[in-house]
Structure 1
Protein backbone atom coordinates (compact mmCIF):
# COMPACT_ATOMS: atom_id res chain seq x y z
CA UNK A 1 0.00 0.00 0.00
CA UNK A 2 2.89 2.41 0.71
CA UNK A 3 4.80 1.51 -2.48
CA UNK A 4 5.03 4.83 -4.36
CA UNK A 5 5.57 2.99 -7.66
CA UNK A 6 2.35 0.98 -7.35
CA UNK A 7 0.08 3.18 -5.26
CA UNK A 8 -3.69 2.81 -5.74
CA UNK A 9 -5.86 5.65 -7.02
CA UNK A 10 -9.53 6.52 -6.76
CA UNK A 11 -12.06 8.75 -8.48
CA UNK A 12 -14.91 10.97 -7.38
CA UNK A 13 -18.43 9.51 -7.78
CA UNK A 14 -20.44 11.23 -10.48
CA UNK A 15 -23.46 13.39 -9.76
CA UNK A 16 -25.55 10.85 -11.67
CA UNK A 17 -24.36 8.00 -9.45
CA UNK A 18 -25.16 10.03 -6.33
CA UNK A 19 -28.53 10.98 -7.79
CA UNK A 20 -29.39 7.34 -8.47
CA UNK A 21 -28.48 6.37 -4.92
CA UNK A 22 -30.57 9.14 -3.40
CA UNK A 23 -33.52 8.23 -5.61
CA UNK A 24 -33.32 4.66 -4.31
CA UNK A 25 -33.78 5.71 -0.67
CA UNK A 26 -35.69 9.02 -0.63
CA UNK A 27 -39.16 7.50 -1.25
CA UNK A 28 -38.89 5.44 1.94
CA UNK A 29 -38.20 8.29 4.38
CA UNK A 30 -39.83 11.51 5.48
CA UNK A 31 -36.46 13.24 5.19
CA UNK A 32 -32.86 12.36 4.43
CA UNK A 33 -29.73 13.86 6.01
CA UNK A 34 -26.36 13.39 4.32
CA UNK A 35 -23.27 14.26 6.38
CA UNK A 36 -20.22 14.45 4.10
CA UNK A 37 -16.48 14.63 4.54
CA UNK A 38 -15.14 18.20 4.63
CA UNK A 39 -15.61 19.92 1.28
CA UNK A 40 -12.11 21.37 1.71
CA UNK A 41 -10.78 17.80 1.45
CA UNK A 42 -13.10 16.23 -1.09
CA UNK A 43 -15.56 17.00 -3.84
CA UNK A 44 -18.11 14.68 -2.24
CA UNK A 45 -20.12 17.52 -0.69
CA UNK A 46 -20.58 19.31 -4.02
CA UNK A 47 -21.42 16.04 -5.79
CA UNK A 48 -24.09 15.10 -3.25
CA UNK A 49 -25.42 18.66 -3.00
CA UNK A 50 -25.85 18.87 -6.77
CA UNK A 51 -27.51 15.46 -6.92
CA UNK A 52 -29.86 16.42 -4.08
CA UNK A 53 -30.78 19.67 -5.83
CA UNK A 54 -31.69 17.75 -8.98
CA UNK A 55 -34.06 15.58 -6.97
CA UNK A 56 -35.30 18.05 -4.38
CA UNK A 57 -34.91 21.54 -5.82
CA UNK A 58 -36.50 23.31 -2.85
CA UNK A 59 -34.51 21.38 -0.26
CA UNK A 60 -37.49 20.20 1.75
CA UNK A 61 -36.63 16.51 1.89
CA UNK A 62 -32.83 16.18 1.52
CA UNK A 63 -30.38 18.02 3.75
CA UNK A 64 -26.68 17.88 2.84
CA UNK A 65 -24.31 18.94 5.61
CA UNK A 66 -20.58 19.60 5.34
CA UNK A 67 -19.10 17.98 8.46
CA UNK A 68 -15.88 20.01 8.09
CA UNK A 69 -14.27 16.80 9.35
CA UNK A 70 -12.99 13.54 7.91
CA UNK A 71 -13.75 9.86 8.52
CA UNK A 72 -12.69 9.64 12.19
CA UNK A 73 -14.29 12.96 13.02
CA UNK A 74 -17.46 12.27 11.04
CA UNK A 75 -18.19 9.12 13.04
CA UNK A 76 -19.20 10.84 16.31
CA UNK A 77 -21.31 13.35 14.37
CA UNK A 78 -23.22 10.65 12.52
CA UNK A 79 -23.62 8.64 15.73
CA UNK A 80 -25.08 11.66 17.52
CA UNK A 81 -27.49 12.28 14.64
CA UNK A 82 -28.66 8.66 14.78
CA UNK A 83 -29.21 8.92 18.53
CA UNK A 84 -31.33 12.05 18.07
CA UNK A 85 -33.39 10.34 15.39
CA UNK A 86 -33.95 7.36 17.70
CA UNK A 87 -35.28 9.79 20.32
CA UNK A 88 -37.91 10.98 17.86
CA UNK A 89 -36.60 14.53 17.64
CA UNK A 90 -37.90 16.90 14.99
CA UNK A 91 -35.75 17.51 11.90
CA UNK A 92 -34.98 21.08 12.95
CA UNK A 93 -33.71 19.90 16.35
CA UNK A 94 -31.66 17.12 14.79
CA UNK A 95 -29.98 19.51 12.36
CA UNK A 96 -29.13 21.92 15.18
CA UNK A 97 -27.59 19.07 17.19
CA UNK A 98 -25.54 18.00 14.17
CA UNK A 99 -24.13 21.50 13.68
CA UNK A 100 -23.42 21.84 17.40
CA UNK A 101 -21.64 18.49 17.44
CA UNK A 102 -19.53 19.46 14.44
CA UNK A 103 -18.42 22.59 16.28
CA UNK A 104 -17.54 20.54 19.37
CA UNK A 105 -15.66 17.76 17.59
CA UNK A 106 -11.90 17.60 17.17
CA UNK A 107 -9.59 14.99 15.70
CA UNK A 108 -5.88 14.39 16.17
CA UNK A 109 -4.07 12.11 13.74
CA UNK A 110 -0.60 10.62 14.18
CA UNK A 111 0.94 9.82 10.81
CA UNK A 112 4.33 8.50 9.79
CA UNK A 113 4.62 10.84 6.80
CA UNK A 114 2.67 13.70 5.27
CA UNK A 115 3.38 12.76 1.65
CA UNK A 116 0.05 10.98 1.14
CA UNK A 117 -1.98 13.81 2.67
CA UNK A 118 -0.09 16.36 0.59
CA UNK A 119 -0.49 14.42 -2.66
CA UNK A 120 -4.24 14.01 -2.04
CA UNK A 121 -4.71 17.66 -1.08
CA UNK A 122 -5.60 16.86 2.53
CA UNK A 123 -3.03 19.34 3.82
CA UNK A 124 -0.91 22.14 2.40
CA UNK A 125 2.17 21.34 0.34
CA UNK A 126 4.65 23.50 2.25
CA UNK A 127 3.95 21.71 5.53
CA UNK A 128 4.54 18.38 3.86
CA UNK A 129 7.80 19.64 2.35
CA UNK A 130 9.10 20.77 5.76
CA UNK A 131 8.18 17.49 7.44
CA UNK A 132 9.77 15.47 4.63
CA UNK A 133 13.02 17.40 4.70
CA UNK A 134 13.35 17.00 8.48
CA UNK A 135 11.96 13.45 8.52
CA UNK A 136 9.50 14.47 11.20
CA UNK A 137 6.40 12.57 12.31
CA UNK A 138 3.49 15.03 12.22
CA UNK A 139 0.34 15.36 14.27
CA UNK A 140 -2.46 16.47 11.96
CA UNK A 141 -5.79 18.05 12.85
CA UNK A 142 -8.55 19.93 11.04
CA UNK A 143 -9.22 23.63 11.43
CA UNK A 144 -12.64 25.27 11.78
CA UNK A 145 -12.99 25.66 8.03
CA UNK A 146 -12.44 21.94 7.45
CA UNK A 147 -8.88 22.10 6.14
CA UNK A 148 -6.12 19.75 7.29
CA UNK A 149 -3.41 21.41 9.40
CA UNK A 150 -0.21 20.26 11.07
CA UNK A 151 -0.27 21.10 14.79
CA UNK A 152 2.90 19.34 15.87
CA UNK A 153 5.95 17.50 14.58
CA UNK A 154 8.06 14.94 16.43
CA UNK A 155 11.09 12.83 15.69
CA UNK A 156 9.26 9.59 16.49
CA UNK A 157 5.74 8.19 16.80
CA UNK A 158 6.14 7.74 20.55
CA UNK A 159 6.64 11.49 20.92
CA UNK A 160 3.57 11.99 18.73
CA UNK A 161 1.51 9.95 21.17
CA UNK A 162 2.79 12.11 24.04
CA UNK A 163 1.87 15.23 22.09
CA UNK A 164 -1.69 14.02 21.51
CA UNK A 165 -1.98 12.95 25.14
CA UNK A 166 -0.97 16.48 26.21
CA UNK A 167 -3.53 18.00 23.86
CA UNK A 168 -6.28 15.75 25.21
CA UNK A 169 -5.36 16.60 28.80
CA UNK A 170 -5.42 20.30 28.02
CA UNK A 171 -8.90 19.96 26.55
CA UNK A 172 -10.20 17.78 29.39
CA UNK A 173 -8.96 20.36 31.91
CA UNK A 174 -11.09 23.04 30.24
CA UNK A 175 -14.12 21.11 28.99
CA UNK A 176 -15.98 17.88 29.53
CA UNK A 177 -15.17 15.22 26.93
CA UNK A 178 -18.53 13.51 26.44
CA UNK A 179 -17.34 10.88 23.96
CA UNK A 180 -14.35 9.82 21.92
CA UNK A 181 -13.41 7.18 19.38
CA UNK A 182 -10.22 5.72 17.94
CA UNK A 183 -9.58 4.84 14.31
CA UNK A 184 -6.53 3.40 12.60
CA UNK A 185 -5.07 2.11 9.33
CA UNK A 186 -3.78 -1.41 9.99
CA UNK A 187 -2.35 -0.26 13.34
CA UNK A 188 -4.37 -2.17 15.94
CA UNK A 189 -1.46 -2.26 18.41
CA UNK A 190 -1.18 1.52 18.38
CA UNK A 191 -4.98 1.81 18.63
CA UNK A 192 -4.99 -0.47 21.68
CA UNK A 193 -2.22 1.64 23.22
CA UNK A 194 -4.37 4.74 22.67
CA UNK A 195 -7.31 3.01 24.32
CA UNK A 196 -5.26 2.33 27.47
CA UNK A 197 -3.87 5.86 27.62
CA UNK A 198 -7.12 7.72 27.04
CA UNK A 199 -9.36 5.44 29.08
CA UNK A 200 -7.12 6.31 32.01
CA UNK A 201 -7.00 10.01 31.14
CA UNK A 202 -10.70 10.53 30.36
CA UNK A 203 -12.15 7.94 32.74
CA UNK A 204 -14.17 6.07 30.13
CA UNK A 205 -13.62 3.70 27.26
CA UNK A 206 -13.94 4.89 23.65
CA UNK A 207 -17.27 4.59 21.89
CA UNK A 208 -15.54 2.33 19.40
CA UNK A 209 -12.21 1.36 17.85
CA UNK A 210 -12.28 0.66 14.13
CA UNK A 211 -10.18 0.59 10.99
CA UNK A 212 -10.64 3.50 8.64
CA UNK A 213 -11.82 3.01 5.08
CA UNK A 214 -9.35 2.16 2.34
CA UNK A 215 -9.81 5.61 0.78
CA UNK A 216 -8.89 7.39 4.02
CA UNK A 217 -5.98 5.02 4.57
CA UNK A 218 -4.68 5.94 1.12
CA UNK A 219 -4.72 9.62 2.07
CA UNK A 220 -3.24 9.24 5.55
CA UNK A 221 -0.87 6.32 4.98
CA UNK A 222 -0.80 2.89 6.57
CA UNK A 223 0.05 2.78 10.27
CA UNK A 224 -1.71 6.03 11.18
CA UNK A 225 -3.93 6.25 14.23
CA UNK A 226 -6.36 8.98 15.23
CA UNK A 227 -8.53 9.99 18.15
CA UNK A 228 -11.72 11.99 17.66
CA UNK A 229 -13.46 13.63 20.61
CA UNK A 230 -16.65 15.54 21.32
CA UNK A 231 -16.82 18.11 24.10
CA UNK A 232 -19.87 19.44 25.93
Structure 2
Protein backbone atom coordinates (compact mmCIF):
# COMPACT_ATOMS: atom_id res chain seq x y z
CA UNK A 1 0.00 0.00 0.00
CA UNK A 2 1.78 3.10 1.28
CA UNK A 3 4.25 4.16 3.92
CA UNK A 4 1.27 4.57 6.27
CA UNK A 5 -1.18 1.79 5.39
CA UNK A 6 -3.76 2.94 7.94
CA UNK A 7 -4.87 6.05 6.01
CA UNK A 8 -7.26 6.12 3.05
CA UNK A 9 -7.90 9.23 0.95
CA UNK A 10 -11.35 9.91 -0.52
CA UNK A 11 -12.02 12.56 -3.17
CA UNK A 12 -15.02 13.43 -5.30
CA UNK A 13 -14.64 13.41 -9.06
CA UNK A 14 -14.78 17.21 -9.03
CA UNK A 15 -11.21 17.24 -7.67
CA UNK A 16 -9.94 16.36 -11.18
CA UNK A 17 -7.17 14.06 -9.93
CA UNK A 18 -4.76 12.64 -12.54
CA UNK A 19 -5.55 9.02 -13.34
CA UNK A 20 -2.29 7.68 -11.87
CA UNK A 21 -3.35 8.78 -8.40
CA UNK A 22 -6.79 7.22 -8.73
CA UNK A 23 -5.16 3.86 -9.47
CA UNK A 24 -3.58 3.74 -6.01
CA UNK A 25 -4.92 1.24 -3.47
CA UNK A 26 -5.34 3.96 -0.84
CA UNK A 27 -7.29 6.46 -2.99
CA UNK A 28 -11.06 6.24 -3.46
CA UNK A 29 -13.40 8.38 -5.56
CA UNK A 30 -16.99 9.50 -5.01
CA UNK A 31 -18.58 10.00 -8.43
CA UNK A 32 -20.84 12.79 -9.55
CA UNK A 33 -23.72 11.83 -11.85
CA UNK A 34 -24.64 13.24 -15.26
CA UNK A 35 -28.32 13.02 -16.16
CA UNK A 36 -29.85 13.10 -19.65
CA UNK A 37 -33.60 12.73 -19.18
CA UNK A 38 -34.13 9.37 -17.49
CA UNK A 39 -30.52 8.30 -18.14
CA UNK A 40 -28.37 8.51 -14.97
CA UNK A 41 -24.69 8.21 -15.91
CA UNK A 42 -21.74 7.91 -13.53
CA UNK A 43 -19.01 10.44 -14.29
CA UNK A 44 -15.80 8.92 -15.72
CA UNK A 45 -17.40 5.46 -15.81
CA UNK A 46 -20.48 5.72 -18.01
CA UNK A 47 -19.61 9.02 -19.66
CA UNK A 48 -16.53 11.16 -20.31
CA UNK A 49 -16.00 14.89 -20.60
CA UNK A 50 -15.40 14.50 -24.34
CA UNK A 51 -18.79 12.78 -24.68
CA UNK A 52 -20.54 15.68 -22.96
CA UNK A 53 -18.75 18.38 -24.96
CA UNK A 54 -19.57 16.55 -28.21
CA UNK A 55 -23.30 16.64 -27.37
CA UNK A 56 -23.30 20.37 -26.58
CA UNK A 57 -25.06 22.69 -27.17
CA UNK A 58 -27.81 20.47 -28.59
CA UNK A 59 -28.02 18.49 -25.34
CA UNK A 60 -27.22 20.00 -21.95
CA UNK A 61 -27.61 17.50 -19.11
CA UNK A 62 -28.07 18.13 -15.41
CA UNK A 63 -25.83 16.78 -12.66
CA UNK A 64 -26.28 15.31 -9.21
CA UNK A 65 -24.19 14.52 -6.14
CA UNK A 66 -22.72 11.15 -5.31
CA UNK A 67 -25.62 9.06 -4.03
CA UNK A 68 -25.91 7.57 -0.56
CA UNK A 69 -25.20 4.18 -2.16
CA UNK A 70 -22.05 5.59 -3.79
CA UNK A 71 -20.79 6.79 -0.41
CA UNK A 72 -21.66 3.51 1.30
CA UNK A 73 -19.87 1.49 -1.39
CA UNK A 74 -16.70 3.57 -1.06
CA UNK A 75 -16.55 3.23 2.71
CA UNK A 76 -17.31 -0.49 2.52
CA UNK A 77 -14.33 -0.83 0.16
CA UNK A 78 -12.18 1.15 2.59
CA UNK A 79 -13.07 -1.24 5.42
CA UNK A 80 -12.48 -4.27 3.20
CA UNK A 81 -8.93 -3.08 2.50
CA UNK A 82 -8.19 -2.71 6.19
CA UNK A 83 -7.96 1.07 6.52
CA UNK A 84 -8.81 2.56 9.91
CA UNK A 85 -8.41 6.29 9.21
CA UNK A 86 -9.93 8.27 6.34
CA UNK A 87 -9.32 11.77 4.97
CA UNK A 88 -12.17 13.01 2.75
CA UNK A 89 -11.44 15.94 0.42
CA UNK A 90 -14.29 17.64 -1.42
CA UNK A 91 -14.84 20.57 -3.73
CA UNK A 92 -16.31 23.70 -2.15
CA UNK A 93 -19.45 23.19 -0.08
CA UNK A 94 -20.70 26.44 -1.63
CA UNK A 95 -20.54 24.87 -5.10
CA UNK A 96 -21.72 21.35 -4.26
CA UNK A 97 -23.64 19.61 -1.48
CA UNK A 98 -21.25 16.66 -1.48
CA UNK A 99 -19.23 17.78 1.54
CA UNK A 100 -22.34 18.25 3.69
CA UNK A 101 -23.83 14.93 2.57
CA UNK A 102 -20.62 13.07 3.42
CA UNK A 103 -20.54 14.74 6.83
CA UNK A 104 -24.07 13.54 7.57
CA UNK A 105 -23.34 9.95 6.56
CA UNK A 106 -19.98 9.52 8.30
CA UNK A 107 -21.47 10.46 11.66
CA UNK A 108 -22.80 6.90 11.79
CA UNK A 109 -19.45 5.30 10.90
CA UNK A 110 -18.01 5.01 14.39
CA UNK A 111 -15.68 2.15 13.42
CA UNK A 112 -13.52 4.54 11.36
CA UNK A 113 -11.63 7.70 12.25
CA UNK A 114 -12.73 10.19 9.60
CA UNK A 115 -11.65 13.75 8.82
CA UNK A 116 -13.61 15.70 6.21
CA UNK A 117 -12.15 18.76 4.51
CA UNK A 118 -13.98 21.47 2.58
CA UNK A 119 -11.35 22.81 0.18
CA UNK A 120 -13.43 25.90 -0.68
CA UNK A 121 -12.12 25.34 -4.18
CA UNK A 122 -12.97 23.60 -7.44
CA UNK A 123 -11.34 21.19 -9.88
CA UNK A 124 -7.63 20.71 -9.48
CA UNK A 125 -7.70 23.66 -7.05
CA UNK A 126 -9.40 21.18 -4.71
CA UNK A 127 -7.43 18.20 -6.00
CA UNK A 128 -4.09 19.76 -5.03
CA UNK A 129 -4.95 19.15 -1.37
CA UNK A 130 -5.40 15.44 -2.08
CA UNK A 131 -2.12 15.26 -4.01
CA UNK A 132 -0.34 16.89 -1.08
CA UNK A 133 -1.95 14.52 1.43
CA UNK A 134 -1.00 11.49 -0.66
CA UNK A 135 2.61 12.65 -0.80
CA UNK A 136 2.63 13.31 2.95
CA UNK A 137 1.29 9.81 3.59
CA UNK A 138 4.04 8.36 1.42
CA UNK A 139 6.56 10.29 3.51
CA UNK A 140 5.16 8.65 6.65
CA UNK A 141 3.11 11.50 8.11
CA UNK A 142 0.44 10.48 10.62
CA UNK A 143 -3.30 11.09 10.43
CA UNK A 144 -3.04 13.25 13.54
CA UNK A 145 -0.43 15.47 11.85
CA UNK A 146 -2.04 15.68 8.41
CA UNK A 147 -5.48 16.89 9.54
CA UNK A 148 -4.39 20.18 11.17
CA UNK A 149 -1.82 20.66 8.41
CA UNK A 150 -4.63 20.59 5.84
CA UNK A 151 -6.54 23.26 7.73
CA UNK A 152 -3.45 25.47 7.71
CA UNK A 153 -3.14 25.06 3.93
CA UNK A 154 -6.64 26.27 3.08
CA UNK A 155 -5.56 29.50 1.35
CA UNK A 156 -2.55 27.95 -0.40
CA UNK A 157 -4.43 26.78 -3.50
CA UNK A 158 -5.68 28.82 -6.44
CA UNK A 159 -7.16 27.90 -9.81
CA UNK A 160 -7.84 30.55 -12.45
CA UNK A 161 -10.00 29.77 -15.46
CA UNK A 162 -11.57 31.25 -18.55
CA UNK A 163 -14.74 30.20 -20.39
CA UNK A 164 -16.04 30.74 -23.90
CA UNK A 165 -19.40 31.71 -22.42
CA UNK A 166 -20.91 32.17 -18.96
CA UNK A 167 -24.22 30.64 -20.03
CA UNK A 168 -23.41 27.15 -18.74
CA UNK A 169 -22.50 28.46 -15.29
CA UNK A 170 -25.76 30.39 -15.26
CA UNK A 171 -27.89 27.42 -16.36
CA UNK A 172 -26.29 25.20 -13.74
CA UNK A 173 -26.89 27.69 -10.95
CA UNK A 174 -23.16 27.96 -10.25
CA UNK A 175 -22.70 31.58 -11.33
CA UNK A 176 -21.88 32.97 -7.86
CA UNK A 177 -20.44 36.49 -7.86
CA UNK A 178 -19.84 36.31 -11.63
CA UNK A 179 -23.53 37.08 -12.22
CA UNK A 180 -22.80 40.80 -12.26
CA UNK A 181 -21.23 40.45 -15.71
CA UNK A 182 -24.45 39.43 -17.42
CA UNK A 183 -25.76 42.19 -19.63
CA UNK A 184 -22.26 43.62 -20.19
CA UNK A 185 -20.33 43.69 -23.46
CA UNK A 186 -20.27 40.30 -25.16
CA UNK A 187 -16.51 40.36 -25.67
CA UNK A 188 -15.76 40.43 -21.93
CA UNK A 189 -14.04 37.18 -20.99
CA UNK A 190 -13.48 37.21 -17.24
CA UNK A 191 -10.78 35.31 -15.39
CA UNK A 192 -12.65 33.43 -12.67
CA UNK A 193 -11.49 31.83 -9.42
CA UNK A 194 -12.92 30.86 -6.01
CA UNK A 195 -12.88 33.36 -3.16
CA UNK A 196 -12.15 32.55 0.49
CA UNK A 197 -15.73 31.29 0.92
CA UNK A 198 -15.42 28.93 -2.03
CA UNK A 199 -17.68 30.97 -4.32
CA UNK A 200 -16.91 31.93 -7.93
CA UNK A 201 -15.79 35.51 -8.40
CA UNK A 202 -14.21 37.63 -11.13
CA UNK A 203 -10.47 38.10 -10.70
CA UNK A 204 -10.04 40.22 -13.83
CA UNK A 205 -12.29 41.48 -16.61
CA UNK A 206 -10.61 41.06 -19.98
CA UNK A 207 -11.70 41.58 -23.56
CA UNK A 208 -11.36 38.60 -25.84
CA UNK A 209 -9.97 35.13 -25.43
CA UNK A 210 -6.32 36.02 -25.93
CA UNK A 211 -6.34 38.63 -23.17
CA UNK A 212 -8.09 36.27 -20.75
CA UNK A 213 -5.49 33.54 -21.29
CA UNK A 214 -2.65 36.05 -20.91
CA UNK A 215 -4.17 37.23 -17.64
CA UNK A 216 -4.53 33.64 -16.36
CA UNK A 217 -0.82 33.11 -16.94
CA UNK A 218 -0.02 36.36 -15.11
CA UNK A 219 -2.25 35.51 -12.14
CA UNK A 220 -0.71 32.06 -11.77
CA UNK A 221 2.80 33.45 -12.11
CA UNK A 222 2.17 36.02 -9.38
CA UNK A 223 0.66 33.45 -7.03
CA UNK A 224 3.52 31.01 -7.65
CA UNK A 225 6.08 33.61 -6.57
CA UNK A 226 4.90 33.31 -2.98
CA UNK A 227 6.80 30.02 -2.62
CA UNK A 228 9.55 28.03 -4.35
CA UNK A 229 7.84 24.78 -3.41
CA UNK A 230 4.65 24.49 -5.41
CA UNK A 231 2.55 22.27 -7.66
CA UNK A 232 0.98 23.58 -10.86
CA UNK A 233 -1.57 22.05 -13.20
CA UNK A 234 -3.61 22.70 -16.31
CA UNK A 235 -7.10 21.41 -17.02
CA UNK A 236 -9.23 22.15 -20.05
CA UNK A 237 -12.07 21.34 -22.38
CA UNK A 238 -10.54 23.52 -25.05
CA UNK A 239 -8.83 22.97 -28.37
CA UNK A 240 -5.74 20.78 -27.77
CA UNK A 241 -3.47 23.21 -29.63
CA UNK A 242 -4.68 26.11 -27.49
CA UNK A 243 -4.17 24.07 -24.32
CA UNK A 244 -0.65 23.10 -25.43
CA UNK A 245 0.18 26.75 -26.10
CA UNK A 246 -1.01 27.84 -22.64
CA UNK A 247 0.90 24.98 -21.02
CA UNK A 248 4.10 25.95 -22.82
CA UNK A 249 3.73 29.58 -21.77
CA UNK A 250 3.10 28.52 -18.16
CA UNK A 251 6.17 26.32 -18.07
CA UNK A 252 8.25 29.21 -19.42
CA UNK A 253 6.80 31.74 -16.99
CA UNK A 254 7.03 29.83 -13.69
CA UNK A 255 10.16 30.14 -11.59
CA UNK A 256 11.60 27.78 -10.52
CA UNK A 257 10.57 25.62 -13.47
CA UNK A 258 8.53 22.57 -12.43
CA UNK A 259 6.61 19.98 -14.47
CA UNK A 260 2.88 20.64 -14.64
CA UNK A 261 0.28 18.12 -13.48
CA UNK A 262 -2.17 17.08 -16.21
CA UNK A 263 -5.52 17.18 -14.42
CA UNK A 264 -8.56 15.40 -15.87
CA UNK A 265 -11.68 17.58 -16.10
CA UNK A 266 -14.63 15.90 -14.40
CA UNK A 267 -17.63 15.37 -16.73
CA UNK A 268 -20.03 16.92 -14.21
CA UNK A 269 -17.89 20.05 -13.99
CA UNK A 270 -17.80 20.21 -17.78
CA UNK A 271 -21.60 20.42 -17.76
CA UNK A 272 -21.33 23.69 -15.82
CA UNK A 273 -18.46 25.21 -17.81
CA UNK A 274 -19.19 24.10 -21.36
CA UNK A 275 -16.70 23.83 -24.23
CA UNK A 276 -13.64 26.06 -24.19
CA UNK A 277 -12.70 25.93 -20.53
CA UNK A 278 -9.05 26.48 -19.73
CA UNK A 279 -7.99 26.46 -16.10
CA UNK A 280 -4.55 26.68 -14.52
CA UNK A 281 -3.82 26.15 -10.85
CA UNK A 282 -1.02 26.59 -8.35
CA UNK A 283 -0.65 25.13 -4.87
CA UNK A 284 2.00 26.00 -2.28
CA UNK A 285 3.26 22.84 -0.63
CA UNK A 286 3.97 23.22 3.07
CA UNK A 287 5.87 21.28 5.71
CA UNK A 288 4.34 19.37 8.60
CA UNK A 289 6.01 20.50 11.80
TM-score interval, smaller chain: 0.7 to 0.9
Question: What do the CA deviations read for 1:62-109 (whole angstroms, capped 9, x no partner)?
Answer: 211111111121221111000011111111211133223332111101
CA distance in 2, matches of 1:172, 1:138: 20
The equivalent residue for 2:237 is 185
The equivalent residue for 1:97 is 149
Does the CA-based 8 Å contact 1:106-1:230 persist in structure 2? Answer: yes
The gaps in structure 2 that reach 5 residues or longer are 1-52
The gaps in structure 1 that reach 5 residues or longer are none
For the aligned residue pairs, the C-alpha RMSD in angstroms reads 2.2
2:98 to 21, 33, 44: 44
- The structure-2 alpha-carbon separation of the partners of 1:160 and 1:177, relative to structure 1 and needing over 3 Å to count, comes to farther
SS at match of 1:230: strand
CA distance in 2, matches of 1:222, 1:88: 41
The equivalent residue for 2:86 is 32
The equivalent residue for 2:161 is 109
Length-normalised TM-score, structure 1: 0.88
The equivalent residue for 2:275 is 222
Could you tell me how far 1:35 is from its partner in structure 2? 0.2
Map 1:1-232 to 2 at 5 A: 1=53, 3-27=56-80, 28-56=82-110, 61-124=113-176, 127-128=178-179, 130-131=181-182, 133-135=184-186, 136-176=188-228, 178-203=230-255, 204-231=257-284
Q: Which has the higher contact order (CA 8 A, sep 6+)?
A: 2
| Larger helix proportion of the pair | 1
- The structure-2 alpha-carbon separation of the partners of 1:23 and 1:199, relative to structure 1 and needing over 3 Å to count, comes to same
